Structure 1
Amino acid sequence: MWYLELFEKLEAEKDEQQSVKMSAYMKERFPFLGLPKPKLNEIMKPYIRQAAKSQDVDWNFIFLCWEKEYREAQYVGMEYIYSVQKKLTDHDLDKLKRLITTKSWWDITDGLDKVIGNLSLHYPSVNDEMLIWSCADNIWLRRVAIDYQQKMKDKTDTALLEKIILNNLGSNEFFINKAIGWSLREYSKVNSDWVKSFLEKQEGKLSRLSVKEASKYL
């Protein structure tokens, strides 16, 4: 139970004034201890480095991070996931899904989509699951499906990207339309012609926000 000491140290540093400010920035969705990023890193990094040396991924620790009320605990969980992501397999996808759909917001999902993107490079079955997520009732699963290829550059599966975006046309959800624009914008850095062609084909169907974001580097 090495992490109990970690949580005790985090909680001992609670700053009421910063807590209010940080919670307000996140639209009051989550309470915060009020730890700025440098202080959070100072406390958690030694524990994370040590824990990452274990052969197995400690999902009990990760889920405990998600059970904690304060948001910094989820940030600690994310840092741990980054440190062990090379040990993840396609069998961990359901667990990642649980994280995405629990205490959901962009600050966590936009980190996990990169983890899933890396996972998909080693396990093609992840791509099939992303196509399913792109039609999910949960908007955060859809957002991850739209954006998980963002960092793949020339390894981007454009046929799959197109299918996923088409599955989300007509949405009035800000976080979905923003994600569509971001995914296209990132890929435009690699293949601007493909993005231009896609925008032309879907003219009038994409939201203004998606087009604005997608066109930033064109």
Structure 2
Amino acid sequence: MAHPPWHQDGSRPDGGASPPGGEARILRLVDVEGEVARVLAELRAQGDPVRADYEKRYLKSDLVHFGVPVPALRKVAVSAVEAQPTRDELLALAEALWDVTRDGRPVHEARVAAIEVLVKRVALLEPSDLAVAERFVRGSASWVYVDILAEKVAGALVVRYPDLGRVLDAWVADPYMWIRRTAVLALLAGVRAGNPDLSRVDRFGDALIGEREFFIRKALGWVLRELSKKDPGWVTRWVEPRVEVISGVTLREAVRWLPEEDAGRLRATQRR
């Protein structure tokens, strides 16, 4: 039998007992607008203008930067979802943070905070929420946002809901480079979990092996590198027949953890 709704003090509106377990069940409704304001205020208070200038130059960013170190930024962000929100509250909070602007420009720390809350509570997400990750990636132009979204949000969803791999199949051919990078890096989640999608590593690798974009070449190399830690034989067998067409950037990453005999042979073959 369904329980009636509970007041915030844990009591039942019909005057009945608290739920089983000895403690009152307390509904925690996230005040999205209030949490966004609190997070922004804390981030501004911890900002460093010198660091902000350095970050903007390093990232080649035209966003607003407060200059908050990543560990401090993450701590502030996840505090907004320490009391587990509902899925709807989580999505509303993430999208509100992502959409924050100052003087008409997005705020770097707010966007990172949006990603961090999704990562913290990724278990709440459902297959349709991959569209939120896609929106964020399409609104990005930097690895600093894309890489975490790719592995920790998109990749986590694909591991939990394997049918979403078909979305990655479309993304790997997308005209937007950051979406293609997301398709590749999303495979890292399965690799690190010990359940690599070797079919997609193979197909995506062949689809992208001729890419001129540095960020695609690097992403493919990273996936091969991480896979080589668990299955060096597979990586060696995949790279060897392609060694004359694979980019130097990809090869350097792919062979980094291979046995030296295999790594040396592959490097030497490419240099011929």
TM-score by length of 1: 0.91
Alignment match, 1:144: 182
> What residue is the counterpart of 1:89 in the other structure?
126
Q: What is the aligned-residue identity percentage?
A: 24
The corresponding residue for 1:44 is: 77
Q: Give the Cα separation in 1 of the matches to 2:72 and 2:234.
A: 43
Amino acid in structure 2 at the alignment position of 1:93: L
The corresponding residue for 2:55 is: 22
Q: Structure 2 counterpart of 1:148, which letter?
A: A
* Structure 1 partner of 2:144: 107
Indicate conservation of the 8 Å contact 2:150/2:185, yes or no.
Answer: yes
What is the TM-score of this pair, normalised by structure 2?
0.74
Aligned match of 2:10: none
Instruction: Check the 8 A contact 1:19/1:35 in 2, yes or no.
Output: yes
Displaced runs of 4 or more, over 6 A:
none
Q: Deviations over 1:161-192 (max 9, x none)?
A: 11111111211100000001001011011111
Q: How far has the Cα of 1:156 moved from its partner? A: 0.8
Q: Distance in 2 between matches of 1:195 and 1:160?
A: 13
List alignment gaps of at least 5 residues for structure 1.
none
Q: Which shifted more, 105-114 or 144-153?
A: 144-153
Report if the CA contact (8 A) 1:57-1:87 is conserved: no
Structure scoring higher RCO (CA < 8 A, sep ≥ 6) equals 1
Q: Kindly provide the CA deviation profile for residues 76-98 of structure 1, in whole angstroms up to 9, marking residues without a partner as x.
A: 11110012100111111111100
Residue in structure 2 matched with residue 117 of structure 1 by the alignment: 155
What is aligned with 2:240?
A: 200
CA contact (8 A) 2:184 2:219 kept: yes
Q: 1:83 to 1:57 in 2, by over 3 A?
A: farther
Q: How does 1:148-163 map to 2 (within 5 A)?
A: 148-153=186-191, 154-163=194-203
Alpha-carbon offset, residue 57 of structure 1 = 4.4
CA separation of 1:112 and 1:39: change in aligned 2, threshold 3 A: closer
Query: 1:56, 1:87 within 8 Å by CA — same for their partners in 2?
Result: no
Give the whole-Å Cα distance in 1 for the aligned partners of 2:130 and 2:75: 30
**Which of 23, 33, 37 in structure 1 is aligned with 2:66?**
33
Shift of 1:213: 0.7
Deviation at 1:42, TM superposition (A): 4.7
Whole-angstrom CA distance in 1 between matches of 2:75 and 2:240: 49
Which of 53, 56, 59 is the equivalent residue of 2:88? Answer: 56
Note the aligned Cα RMSD (angstroms). 1.8
**Cα deviation per residue 1:117-146 (whole Å; 9 max; x = unaligned)?**
221122122111101100000111111111
Sort the Cα spacing of 1:25 and 1:184 in 2 relative to 1 into closer, same or farther, 3 A.
same
Quick one: distance in 1 between partners of 2:87 and 2:184? 32
Q: Mean alpha-carbon deviation: is it higher for 53-62 or for 116-125?
A: 53-62
Aligned 8 A contact 2:86 2:124 in 1? no
Report the CA distance shift for 1:32/1:196 in structure 2 as closer, same or farther (over 3 A): same
In structure 2, the gaps of 5 or more residues are 1-32, 101-105, 259-272
The count of corresponding residues between Structure 1 and Structure 2 is 217
Q: Is the 8 A contact 2:80 2:117 kept in 1?
A: no
Which structure has the larger Rg? 2
